[in-house]
Every structure is written in C-alpha cells, then in structure tokens.
Structure 1
Amino acid sequence: MFGSATSASHGTAEAAMTLARLETRPMTGGVLVTVAGEIDSTNAAGVHSYIEHDRRPHEPLVLDLSRLTFMDSSGLRVLVHLHEALSRENTSLHLAEVHHVPARLLRITGVWGVIAAHPTVEQAVSAALGTAEGEKSAF
C-alpha cells in the first residue's frame, strides 16, 4: 500500500485505490522513477507525494512510463506540476517510453511538446544528465 513508503530508498509502493506501482532508482545527478499501472483521481495525490518525496531538489527527474497503462487528467496534472517545480529549480523532467492512453492524452492536450519525452529510458537518462548515449549508465 502507499502508506508503506517511508524513505527515498524504500524501493516500491502501491496505491490503495487504483493500482499504481512506483519504484525509485537514484542516479548520479538525478532520480529515475518507474511508474506502472494507472494514475487517476483515486491515486494521483499519492503518486505526486511519492515522487516529490523521492526526487532531489535541483536535480533532473526521469519518469519511466513504459508500464503506465492509463492516465486521466489527474495524472496529467501530476506531470505538469512536477515539470513546473523542476523548471523553477532550473532543472528538468524527462518522460521515457510513453505509450497508449497516456501518450494520447499528452498529445491531445499539447503537453507532449512541453515536457521532454524520449523513446527509451536510456535516451531520457542521457538527456537528463547531459551525457552521450552509450556512456556508462548512471543508475
């Protein structure tokens, strides 16, 4: 359950209502969070809190959305708020492997062109950390 998450190194958490699995992997100079399942009005606040708790101020954040199957406007709001917070800190949010309904929602709303989206996690990490693809993995 979501309430079981206690620290940035806790590994995974699950939302109580609609299932959303989150896993954090610290990187040198940033954080990678994998999001699986769904983000909707029943769990968006918990997802946002989890990510805010685990991200590092003034460091880029990569969200691996390869296993995110559904996202409504509540999930979109989470992404926009994260993007705005990171922008205020002069750093960035990078989305990786966005597919299906979440990708469609980002495109329809125009958010796809505002938040950096990358075809692979490796490309997102490279862009976030300012490294060339193929360099030693940062996580």
Structure 2
Amino acid sequence: MTDNDNWRLSITCSHTGGVRVLTACGEIDLDSAPRLLDALTADGAAALVTVVDLSGVTFMDSSGINALIAAHHAAQRHGGQLRLASPGPTVAEIFGIVGLPGVIPCHPTLRDALDACPRQPDEPDVADARHNRGGHQNGTS
C-alpha cells in the first residue's frame, strides 16, 4: 500500500442497532481493495452483520468486487451476513453487469439495508439517535 491509497479510499466504521456499518468513500481498485477487505474481515469482523455503505464510492473495478465477494464468503463461514447499500449509479451499473446483487444483498439506501438486517433489541439505534428522528435512546422516552 502506498501513501496515495490513503487519500483514494477512506473507510470508517460505526455500529447501529447491533449492525456494523462500514462506510467507504473514494476509489476501490487494485491498490485500495485490500484495505477494504481488511476492514471487512479484521479482528473477527466477518462474524458480524455488516452493511457496507457505498454512497461515497466514485469508482470500483473488479478488485473491489472481488474484495466484497471474499468478505461475503468470510462472513458466511462465520455465520454472519454482508449487505451492500447505496451504490452510486456507476457502481450500481457495474454490480448489475456482473450480477453481484444475486450474490450479496444490495439495497438502494442505507436505511433499507439496515431495516433488512436482524437487530439486537437491547442496543439503541445510534443512526436514529444521531439524526434526531424522534425515537427513544437507552430505553427512555
């Protein structure tokens, strides 16, 4: 990995309702795809329900698709799930061409992906609390 990879792809991670949300922004290609795969599978993360928010991804080649498929298989081996959310038009077109939504569930929005995931009832929905959507936090109203 070169220093250029750090500005070409940024990855952040959060949790909401018991689901791990990994947000990728930038370009996912031969040089940066290993960072994405590492983030998806590091420290047993493959065992969690993970949603990858792709709304900030401006480019993805076959290396990125391969990283997503590898992470999907790793999650399945550990009893977990991987879901994709919010691919932009260019990335969604590539996904359609290669048939990726037939392999990994792909949702038009992050909210749709989160709604399709099994939830842990004891955990507050951090995304809803952060966006002040009027729900209750920590079991209080």
Bin of the TM-score, shorter chain as denominator length: 0.7 to 0.9
- Whole-Å separation in 1 of the counterparts to 2:63 and 2:34: 8
> Aligned letter for 1:53?
A
Deviation above 4 Å: which 4+ runs of structure 1?
none
Q: Percentage identity across aligned positions?
A: 31
Partner of 1:9: none
> Displacement, 1:56?
2.9
Partner of 2:125: 137
> Aligned letter for 1:15?
D
With the length of structure 2 as denominator, give the TM-score of the two structures: 0.75
> Aligned letter for 2:69?
V
> Displacement, 1:112?
1.7
| Larger fraction in helix | 2
> Displacement, 1:102?
1.5
Aligned residue pairs, count = 124
Q: What aligned pairs does 1:1-139 form with structure 2 within 5 A after superposition? A: 15-16=5-6, 19-53=8-42, 56-130=45-119, 137-139=125-127
CA contact 1:44–1:78 (8 Å) conserved in 2:
yes
> Displacement, 1:109?
0.8
CA contact 1:38–1:69 (8 Å) conserved in 2:
yes
Q: What is the SS of the residue equivalent to 1:15?
A: helix
> Aligned letter for 2:5?
A
With the length of structure 1 as denominator, give the TM-score of the two structures: 0.76
Give the number of the structure whose alpha-carbon radius of gyration is greater.
Answer: 2
- Whole-Å separation in 2 of the counterparts to 1:121 and 1:109: 22
> Displacement, 1:100?
2.2
**Greater relative contact order: 1 or 2 (C-alpha under 8 angstroms, separation 6 or more)?**
2
Partner of 2:133: none
Give structure 2 stretches of 5+ with no counterpart: 128-141
Give structure 1 stretches of 5+ with no counterpart: 4-13
CA contact 1:55–1:61 (8 Å) conserved in 2:
no
